[in-house]
Amino acid sequence: MKKRIIFASLLLSAASTVHAQDRQVVEAVASSLDSQGLLTPQGKFELEPSFSYGQNTSTRVSILGYSVLPAIVVGLIQAEDQDLATFTFGLAGRYGLTERIELELRAPWVYRYDSYRFREAEPTNTPRTVTSSGGALGDIEGSVRYQFNLDTAPFWIGGLRLKSDTGRSPFDEELDADDIFKRPPTGTGTWAIEPSMTLIYPSDPAVIFGTAGYTHNLKVTAGRDLNGDDLANDEVRLGDSFFLGMGMGFAVNNRLSFSLGVNHRTVFTSKINGRKAEGSKMLQLDSLTMGFSLALTERTTLNMNAQAGLTEDAPDVQVNFSMPIMF
């Protein structure tokens, strides 16, 4: 169960010729796909405070015994309910270095509240609830984006993101007697490099948007034993992942727009000391998203994005709010 909890905790990412109304629609679609759609104009600075809430609930039943009849099992039956809630407060800054290049720096503060409820079939045992909560700085990340063409659609934007390991690592945090974190981690524990490519195609009155990329996680040395040999300093290699998303946005008027999109991410298996980690498997994360964008002023926009998981491994629900402010 230790390995399952560790890796489950890790699940917890245009053109200056486009008209202002199209830009708002693109931003709505970009918000639904968790990607920046339009580059910051040259010499301009954009500050974006944000808040997100994610909830993931699952039930796991373990049976240790044997079957007497198809409907009768002799042995120990244990059910476990997991309720994992994550609150993230973020602040991002973007600067238009040139009309083709944008720089971004993002810093999150993460608070987690994890609740585990164990129910065993033995009549002498009552259900137990174990909680783990706490907040700390998350993984700070920096990005650079480059727009390849300025004059003709579709517009192509390449990106490169570097994620640090400033958050609390799941490979260093202590576990209690139930193999649950005493303090929940707030980061993945590894550095990561993520190249990506974004497509933007304005087609009045809609804007079509697509993005694809690959996340490569670097190796890290754990601060405690992970494979049960009572030796620390295990070498961990989190599974890389491939992601893609697509969507479409529509302008309701010159201030309000909405979008629909779908996201997919395939996460490959993780390894400890060069071998497949116990409990690690390939994950398929799919989600459906819906976003709104409201222009409050000429320089300020309010974005809202709701995301619902479509597969078992994807988070059940995630809601994001952001408010880019141009200076």
- Residue 42 is part of a domain; what is its CATH number? 2.40.160.40
Residue 181 DSSP symbol: B
Measured distance between the N- and C-terminal CA atoms of the chain, rounded to whole angstroms: 49
Percent of residues, the chain, with pLDDT higher than 70: 78
What per-residue confidence (pLDDT) applies to 82?
Answer: 82
Domain count, the chain: 1
| 166, 187, 188, 280 from 221: Cα distances, Å | 15, 15, 13, 18
291 contact partners, CB below 8 Å, separation of at least 6? 28, 29, 31, 32, 249, 258, 259, 260, 261, 303, 304, 305, 306
Mean pLDDT of 42-71: 73
Which three-class secondary structure state does DSSP give residue 8? helix
Q: Render pLDDT for 221-249 as a digit per residue (tens, 0 to 9).
A: 887 777 666 666 788 888 899 999 998 88
Confidence band for 291, pLDDT divided at 50, 70 and 90: confident
Task: Find tokens 């990412």 and name the residue.
Answer: 13
* Residue 101 domain boundaries: 2-326
The type of residue at 207 is: V
d(CA 119, CA 126): 7
pLDDT value at 100 more than 60 = yes
Both tokens of 156, joined, read: 């192509």
- Write down the pLDDT at residue 298: 85
Of the candidates 250, 251, 271, the residue with the CA atom closest to the CA atom of residue 261: 250
Q: Residue 37 pLDDT > 70, yes or no?
A: no
Which has the closest alpha carbon to 80: 115, 121, 117? 117
Q: What is the pTM of this model?
A: 0.81
CA 263 centroid distance within chain: 11
Of how many residues is the chain composed?
327
What is the per-residue pLDDT across 126-153, written as a single tens digit (0 to 9) for each?
777 888 899 999 999 999 999 998 888 8
User: What local confidence, expressed as pLDDT, does residue 251 receive?
Assistant: 81
